[in-house]
Amino acid sequence: MPDAPAMDRLAPSDVDQLRRSIRGDVIASDDPGYDDARRLWNAIHDRRPAVIARPIDADEVATAVAFARDRDLEIQVRSGGHSKVGLRGRDGGLVVDMSAMRGVDVDRARRIARVNGGSLLGELDVAAQAHGLVTPVGVVGHTGVAGLTLGGGVGRLQRHFGLTIDNLVAVELVTADGRQVRASADDEPELFWGLRGAGWNFGIATAFEFRLHPFGPNLHRGLFLYPASQVHEVFDAFRDYARSAPDAVAVILNLDRAGERSGAPEAMFGKPVVYVAYNHSGDAADVERDTAGLRRGPAPMAATTASQPYLDVQTAHDLLFAWGNRSFIRGTNADDVRPEALDELVGLVGSAQGDNTISITALGGAIGRLPEDATAYAGRSAAFDLSADSSWTDPALDDVNIDWCRRAVAVIEADAVLGRYANGNADAGPEQSRLIFGDAKVARLAALKRAWDPDNVFHVNHNIAPAGGDAAGD
Ligand SMILES: Cc1cc2nc3c(=O)[nH]c(=O)nc-3n(C[C@H](O)[C@H](O)[C@H](O)COP(=O)(O)OP(=O)(O)OC[C@H]3O[C@@H](n4cnc5c(N)ncnc54)[C@H](O)[C@@H]3O)c2cc1C
């Protein structure tokens, strides 16, 4: 890995050369628009790259990679800019910003979407739904397809249709040596294996092909609210339901604080509460039957159910998760949560100083039916993904909220099983990579890394160093 100098300016002649080499925008640190162009979704990350390039095709991506390698510039790749890890590179590198490479083409007859590398989830959702089709992605429309997909992809439809990577037919990428490679079940199958879970390590994805499923237009939803004093009974009912829930039902339990629009009585505002929410992606006529098990627990304080267009649901949180907040997330897979851990988590939610939530998402369904070694993503047999998420605006609260997320995950460490969702873990480093992928997959990924990126050019991510582990560190 090149040891990039900590500088944020390149010689003007170098910048000019890059400008002459690609038709896409090239933005240097003294250009107007630089501060806007270097901004990331998560305001805790404030990197000052030497130059930002916006290639318009795969050839230009290869040119940008060669330009950076010739000058020992660290390469940071960016599509949606949502990374919680935050492109934690050093100042002074080259950002390959894929935002000029957007666009989705749907082949309705073959039920395949071809998605350019810089596209956002909302573009894929809209293009597929125009044909009554879908591929399962995440829950906020302005997230990048690339970053989400290359780490796995969880959301509202995954128990039904599998992870986003389980619907991936092929990835086209530019590798560290500038080659343009197609990876699929037939072409470079081992690379295709690694791209599905640890994919940011092997190159810059310039296009994806996804399998599409007939679906929509509506998603059927329910939300039940309980006082935190009932957390044990509610969790028991949720866990038992999740164990045998129909694939069409995505279900999540959240520990949060009651807000004004929560449906809780005013006296509870600001106090910890429990939400159980489902998204049913099957027939409306089956919803009552399929979710009956969720109502076996205590009676909720408030309950809402509705059927809404999938596209409305998929963008409903876009403003809530707008750019500019400070954010941190940690998580782990678990098969159960001990009662005393639930009590501690409720206590943590009550003492939080940001907009902090603990969510327990049921995995299983189609996710758990693929064998563990099918993809680099690890932990397919886990029952739950438990994650602690914090959002705040005051930089003075950075340490306290980051520490809050780490403490919440420490509480359920005793319940943890193989696998941590890479895209749901803002801490990175060799130990995190081992927890995310497990030792056996780290070894297999390291062999792949030696084959495709022996100099660890692509390391600003949950990195697999060619020698194993993570050479970039935290
Ligand atoms: C508001 C919000 C909502 C989210 N919701 C979900 C969700 O519902 N489901 C879910 O699974 N995840 C979710 N995530 C997590 C999300 O999947 C990750 O943050 C993901 O990394 C975002 O990808 P991006 O392209 O937007 O980010 P970027 O910051 O652009 O990139 C993220 C990582 O991917 C690499 N990368 C980006 N583009 C490419 C490319 N073309 N080729 C190779 N590597 C590339 C980068 O180097 C970086 O390491 C959410 C995140 C946020 C902030």
Predicted structure pTM score: 0.95
**Residue at a domain's end among 100, 129, 154:** 100
Do 260 and 353 lie in one domain? The reply is yes
Do 185 and 249 lie in one domain? The reply is no
Residues 6+ apart with CB under 8 A from 186: none
The CB of 314 under 6 Å from ligand 1? The reply is no
Ligand 1 pocket mutation pick from 148, 325, 436 by most atoms within 8 angstroms of CB: 148
Q: Look at residue 392 in the predicted model and tell me its pLDDT.
A: 95
Q: Which residues on neighbouring strands pair with residue 213, listed in sequence order?
A: 134
Do 369 and 313 lie in one domain? The reply is yes
Q: Look at residue 332 in the predicted model and tell me its pLDDT.
A: 96
- Give the number of other Cβ atoms within 10 Å of residue 44's Cβ: 17
Torsion of CA 433, 385, 281, 151, to 10 degrees: -10
Do 265 and 410 lie in one domain? The reply is yes
The CB of 466 under 6 Å from ligand 1? The reply is no
**Cα(202)–Cα(448) distance, rounded to whole angstroms?**
8
**Cα(148)–Cα(122) distance, rounded to whole angstroms?**
13
- Give the number of other Cβ atoms within 10 Å of residue 460's Cβ: 24
Structure tokens at 327: 């954010």
Torsion of CA 286, 140, 362, 225, to 10 degrees: -70
**Could you tell me if residue 314 is inside a domain?**
yes
How far is C-alpha 299 from the chain's CA centre?
33
Do 320 and 275 lie in one domain? The reply is yes
Do 273 and 412 lie in one domain? The reply is yes
The candidate with the shortest Cα–Cα distance to 427, out of 456, 390, 379, is: 390
**Could you tell me if residue 464 is inside a domain?**
no
**Residue at a domain's end among 424, 448, 468:** 424
Beta strands per DSSP E along 363-418: 384-392
Structure tokens at 236: 């028991």
Do 332 and 417 lie in one domain? The reply is yes
Specify the long-range contacts of residues 365-370, CB closer than 8 Å, at least 24 apart: 365/158, 365/159, 365/160, 365/245, 365/247, 366/158, 366/159, 366/160, 366/161, 366/162, 366/166, 366/247, 367/158, 367/159, 367/162, 367/163, 367/166, 369/162, 370/162, 370/166
- Atom of ligand 1 at shortest range from CA of 84: 19
Query: Burial code of 328-357, b = ≥16 C-beta within 10 A, e = fewer?
Result: bbbbbbbeebeeebbebbbebbeebebbbb
CATH number at residue 50: 3.30.43.10
The candidate with the shortest Cα–Cα distance to 325, out of 392, 389, 390, is: 392
**Cα(144)–Cα(150) distance, rounded to whole angstroms?**
10
Mean pLDDT, 10 residues at a time, the chain of 474 residues: 51 95 96 94 92 98 97 94 70 94 98 98 98 98 97 98 98 98 98 98 98 97 96 97 96 93 83 96 97 92 95 92 92 96 97 93 97 98 97 95 96 93 92 94 97 96 81 40
**Residue at a domain's end among 155, 188, 215:** 215
- Atom of ligand 1 at shortest range from CA of 78: 30
- Structural domain including 40 reads 12-100
The dihedrals phi and psi of 8, each to the nearest 5 degrees, come to: -120, 15
**Could you tell me if residue 449 is inside a domain?**
no
Count of the separate structural domains present in the chain: 3
**Could you tell me if residue 369 is inside a domain?**
yes
Q: Look at residue 8 in the predicted model and tell me its pLDDT.
A: 58
Shortest-distance Cα residue to atom 6 of ligand 1: 138
Do 92 and 225 lie in one domain? The reply is no
Do 415 and 281 lie in one domain? The reply is yes
CATH number at residue 116: 3.30.465.10
Do 120 and 259 lie in one domain? The reply is no
**Could you tell me if residue 144 is inside a domain?**
yes
Ligand 1 pocket mutation pick from 39, 46, 79 by most atoms within 8 angstroms of CB: 79
Q: Look at residue 5 in the predicted model and tell me its pLDDT.
A: 44
Q: Which residues on neighbouring strands pair with residue 275, listed in sequence order?
A: 225, 254
- 144 C-alpha vs ligand 1 centroid, how far in Å? 5
The SS3 of residue 129 is helix
Structure tokens at 158: 């995954």
Q: Look at residue 6 in the predicted model and tell me its pLDDT.
A: 41
Do 193 and 237 lie in one domain? The reply is no
Residues 6+ apart with CB under 8 A from 335: 382, 383, 384, 415, 417
Do 273 and 331 lie in one domain? The reply is yes
pLDDT digits (tens, 9 = 90+) for 81-105: 998 765 555 778 999 999 999 999 9
Residues 6+ apart with CB under 8 A from 396: none
CATH number at residue 328: 3.40.462.20
